[in-house]
Homo-oligomer: A and B are copies of this chain.
Amino acid sequence: MEGRKILFPQIRGMLHGGDYNPEQWLDRVDILEEDVRLMKRAHINCVTLGVFSWAAYERTEGAYDVSWLKACMDRLYENGIYTILATPSGAKPAWLASAYPESLRVDAYGVRARHGGRHNHCCSSPAYREKVEGVVTRLAEEVGGHPGLLMWHISNEFGGECFCPLCVARFQSYLERKFEGDIEKLNHAWWTAFWSHSYSSFAQVEPPFSNGEYSIQGLNLEWRRFTTENTRDYLRFEIGLVNRLTPGKPVTTNFMELYEGLDYRVLADDLDVISWDCYPRFHNDEETFAETMAGVAFDHAVMRSMKKETPFLMMESAPGLVNWQEFNKLKRPGVHALASLQAVACGSDSVQYFQWRKSRGCMEQYHGAVVGHLGLPDARVFREVAALGASLEKLSAISGSLVRSQAALLFDWDTMWALADMQGLGRQTKQYAKTCEAAFRAFTSLGVDMDVIPQEGSFDGYQVIVAPMLYVLKPGVADRLKRFVERGGQLLATYVTGYVNEHLLCFLGGFPGGGLQELFGVISEEIDTLYPKDENTALFSDGTAAAVKDYAELLRVQGAEVLGVYGGDFYQGTAAVTVNAYGAGKAYYVGARISPEKMTDIYRRMLEDAGVPARTLPEGVERHVRSAEGKAYEFFLNMSEEEKEISGAFGKDLLTGREALGSLRLLPYGAAVLEQEIS
């Protein structure tokens, strides 16, 4: 049985806190004091300081004043509240933009931005780094040794790209390194002979400016990879700085779901702790609440899987509501606790908020906060936060335990980028991330926790792997998948698998390429892209049928067993779904986008063959399990507006102290956390 990974020994149990902005209230001592009183009442044990405080530290260049921060950390620490301290580089002061315009980004039209917004400095700018070094050094000098300092929070929500001359030059160097100084290697990899776009030197290669080169998919992909690399370079600069100034202090930076701009997995390597900001569109009118929450579980799993051996943190979430969605609806009573417990169930060791107190002005003055403009602790939102704080204390024992999955979803950032940019199929229907999320949801509905892993990651320890639409197939992956199946693994791939290599060159000899045809026993000769009003069916040997939408590959079966055939159109009767016995395992190929219900059947069969028990859960109920040192913590979360009855539920509910003896009743939006002994 695996051990326990305690992130912060200082805090026994879960972190409960959020972004706190005292710099907005320095003229209101009464409010700053009231804050601490209310935090204690809300069971807050940590806050995040300094995310947007640069201008408060350094009102004009070099004129530092960190005293207010120190006073604040003192006051908090005296009251048992720890500080996560952000480096302030997420937003720069106006004087900096004025004095160092080169720190502002250049957009895809080649136009340099003006001062404003946030998260918009050029990662390549030496001037910016120098100014950051100045202020962070001062912070470390003043509070780096503070006993209340828990962790560094590097900058904030990294994102975006820059087309300035410095970045362009770095991009060209990056390419020169990648293609070993040989422009013909680049020409071949990007197939530039097409449309006569061959380069004769690296200096000719421009990033994909909006009024420039849009037609080379390989270039577009490398630009995205470079943007991640250049962001990592900057991240490393800041991490190096704080490591040098405060050796041993852990670092994190806050991610945002499947943010399109950066491959988070590349950045994750340099972090001690993964954390992310979680803002679902609760109670929207396009899907059920349970569907919304299943999507959130997917996001949690993405984050968790970047560092499987350690809990992650939910660094931000909104008490009450957010203010930047199209419709900013209130979270219904109970949902705050439920969504917070879901984070914990999925592996978070924290529930943190943006923000502690609503600001009086600017962009987020209506973004949910623990303390609103009303300012009273009897407000509904405050009461819910405080109650959740009390509940989290009951779950202290869970901290440091881990979710241990036997099933994995292959999700590939490069494929996400490449498919979005790929010319072909249906512009609106490719939907790579949604397709992956749908597979994840199916496993969640079967009560099975699933990791979300990169194709380059290890497949060890998994019994079941699902790889939807794995368009980009990287070197060695086909062989590793074969070994996975050979040793007994259950693998499933779909239409649009293995079309291109890591440079986005098509495999010759048919799809799936790179050796996968042998594994799946099929060749995809053509793919039919359906118009939205088109529909086909797949018919299965057990007499069931499933709807086919959007995509249907025409398969040449080369040894696989046919499980389902098309029910209509000119390829009626040809294979739609196959399975190929390979070594001790099985490789499924699903040639068409068939309905989720049928996919769930196939997943259930795979789990059975893999010996991983699937559960029958009431609709809308999620189950997740964390474990450590002989204990399992089984979460049941009722993501519906009706009461639900769970069977097969045993153990003490840590939230109520009541023992479940096989059956459990959950109120609407209710939750239970059953502690069990395991061997």
Residues of A within 8 A of B (CB): 21, 23-24, 27, 52-56, 59-60, 88, 91-95, 98, 107, 109-111, 113-118, 188, 190-200, 203-206, 208-209, 211-218, 283-285, 320-321, 323-324, 326-330, 332-333, 358-367, 372-376, 379-381, 422-429, 503-511, 523, 525-534, 554, 570
Instruction: For A332, list chain B residues within 8 Å (CB).
Output: 570
Q: Which residue of the partner chain B has the closest CB to A23?
A: B193
Contact A285 B531 (CB under 8 A): yes
Q: Provided the pairs A211-B114, A214-B117, A510-B374 are in contact, do residues A423 and B363 lie with their beta carbons within 8 angstroms?
A: yes
Q: How far is the CB of A592 from chain B (nearest CB, A)?
A: 13
Q: Provided the pairs A23-B193, A212-B113 are in contact, do residues A506 and B198 lie with their beta carbons within 8 angstroms?
A: no
Q: Which residue of the partner chain B has the closest CB to A194?
A: B362
Q: Provided the pairs A324-B423, A509-B375, A534-B285 are in contact, do residues A196 and B92 lie with their beta carbons within 8 angstroms?
A: yes
Contact B505 A217 (CB under 8 A): no
Which of A113, A192, A423, A504 gathers most chain B CB within 10 Å? A423
A-B contact pairs, 22 of them (CB 8 A): A27-B188, A59-B198, A59-B200, A94-B199, A109-B111, A110-B114, A113-B211, A118-B215, A191-B359, A191-B360, A194-B364, A320-B526, A324-B423, A327-B532, A361-B503, A364-B423, A365-B423, A366-B425, A367-B424, A373-B507, A373-B508, A373-B510
Instruction: For A52, list chain B residues within 8 Å (CB).
Output: 193-196
Contact B21 A193 (CB under 8 A): yes
Distance of A424 Cα from B533 Cα, bound (Å): 35
Contact A107 B211 (CB under 8 A): yes
Contact with A366, one of B197, B423, B509 (Cβ below 8 angstroms): B423
Instruction: For A116, list chain B residues within 8 Å (CB).
Output: 197, 206, 208-209, 212-215
Q: Provided the pairs A213-B116, A505-B360 are in contact, do residues A528 and B330 lie with their beta carbons within 8 angstroms?
A: yes
User: Given A194-B363, A324-B423, A361-B505, 7 more contacts at CB 8 Å?
Assistant: A52-B195, A93-B200, A94-B198, A110-B114, A192-B362, A217-B365, A326-B427
Distance of A194 Cα from B507 Cα, bound (Å): 52
Contact A196 B54 (CB under 8 A): yes
Q: Provided the pairs A56-B193, A60-B200, A194-B24 are in contact, do residues A362 and B217 lie with their beta carbons within 8 angstroms?
A: yes
Contact A55 B193 (CB under 8 A): yes
Instruction: For A114, list chain B residues within 8 Å (CB).
Output: 110, 206, 209, 211-213
Distance of A54 Cα from B508 Cα, bound (Å): 26
Contact A196 B53 (CB under 8 A): yes
Contact with A196, one of B27, B91, B330, B523 (Cβ below 8 angstroms): B91
Distance of A116 Cα from B118 Cα, bound (Å): 31
Distance of A94 Cα from B526 Cα, bound (Å): 34
Instruction: For A206, list chain B residues within 8 Å (CB).
Output: 114-116
Q: How far is the CB of A356 from chain B (nearest CB, A)?
A: 13
Q: How far is the CB of A513 from chain B (nearest CB, A)?
A: 8
Distance of A367 Cα from B423 Cα, bound (Å): 9
Instruction: For A505, list chain B residues within 8 Å (CB).
Output: 360-361
Distance of A224 Cα from B364 Cα, bound (Å): 21
Q: Provided the pairs A199-B94, A204-B95 are in contact, do residues A373 and B211 lie with their beta carbons within 8 angstroms?
A: no
Instruction: For A199, list chain B residues within 8 Å (CB).
Output: 94
Distance of A439 Cα from B320 Cα, bound (Å): 31
Q: Which residue of the partner chain B has the closest CB to A362?
A: B194
Instruction: For A107, list chain B residues within 8 Å (CB).
Output: 211
Instruction: For A364, list chain B residues within 8 Å (CB).
Output: 194, 423
Contact with A362, one of B54, B190, B363, B374 (Cβ below 8 angstroms): B190
Q: Which residue of the partner chain B has the closest CB to A427?
A: B326
Contact with A528, one of B92, B329, B376, B425 (Cβ below 8 angstroms): B329
Contact A55 B361 (CB under 8 A): no
Contact A285 B111 (CB under 8 A): no
Instruction: For A95, list chain B residues within 8 Å (CB).
Output: 200, 204
Contact A509 B374 (CB under 8 A): yes
Q: Which residue of the partner chain B has the closest CB to A187?
A: B55
Q: How far is the CB of A138 from chain B (nearest CB, A)?
A: 15
Contact A423 B323 (CB under 8 A): yes
Distance of A200 Cα from B505 Cα, bound (Å): 53
Distance of A674 Cα from B171 Cα, bound (Å): 63
Distance of A510 Cα from B426 Cα, bound (Å): 49
Instruction: For A509, list chain B residues within 8 Å (CB).
Output: 373-375
Contact B213 A525 (CB under 8 A): no
Q: Which residue of the partner chain B has the closest CB to A22?
A: B193
Distance of A583 Cα from B196 Cα, bound (Å): 60
Contact A197 B91 (CB under 8 A): yes
Q: Which residue of the partner chain B has the closest CB to A27?
A: B188
Instruction: For A358, list chain B residues within 8 Å (CB).
Output: 506
Q: How far is the CB of A327 from chain B (nearest CB, A)?
A: 4
Instruction: For A359, list chain B residues within 8 Å (CB).
Output: 191, 193-194
Distance of A594 Cα from B448 Cα, bound (Å): 46
Q: Provided the pairs A94-B200, A380-B526 are in contact, do residues A328 and B425 lie with their beta carbons within 8 angstroms?
A: yes
Q: Which residue of the partner chain B has the closest CB to A53?
A: B196
Instruction: For A192, list chain B residues within 8 Å (CB).
Output: 55, 362
Distance of A665 Cα from B418 Cα, bound (Å): 48
Contact B118 A326 (CB under 8 A): no
Instruction: For A422, list chain B residues within 8 Å (CB).
Output: 366
Q: Which residue of the partner chain B has the closest CB to A190?
A: B361
Contact A56 B196 (CB under 8 A): yes
Q: Provided the pairs A190-B362, A193-B55 are in contact, do residues A213 and B115 lie with their beta carbons within 8 angstroms?
A: yes
Contact with A91, one of B195, B321, B427 (Cβ below 8 angstroms): B195
Which of A53, A107, A204, A507 gathers most chain B CB within 10 Å? A204
Instruction: For A510, list chain B residues within 8 Å (CB).
Output: 373-376
Q: How far is the CB of A224 from chain B (nearest CB, A)?
A: 16
Contact A526 B195 (CB under 8 A): no
Distance of A60 Cα from B467 Cα, bound (Å): 44
Distance of A192 Cα from B118 Cα, bound (Å): 13
Distance of A364 Cα from B195 Cα, bound (Å): 10
Distance of A363 Cα from B510 Cα, bound (Å): 19
Contact A506 B373 (CB under 8 A): yes
Distance of A332 Cα from B60 Cα, bound (Å): 66
Distance of A511 Cα from B194 Cα, bound (Å): 53
Distance of A364 Cα from B503 Cα, bound (Å): 15
Contact A381 B531 (CB under 8 A): no
Contact with A365, one of B191, B366, B554 (Cβ below 8 angstroms): B191
Contact A55 B424 (CB under 8 A): no
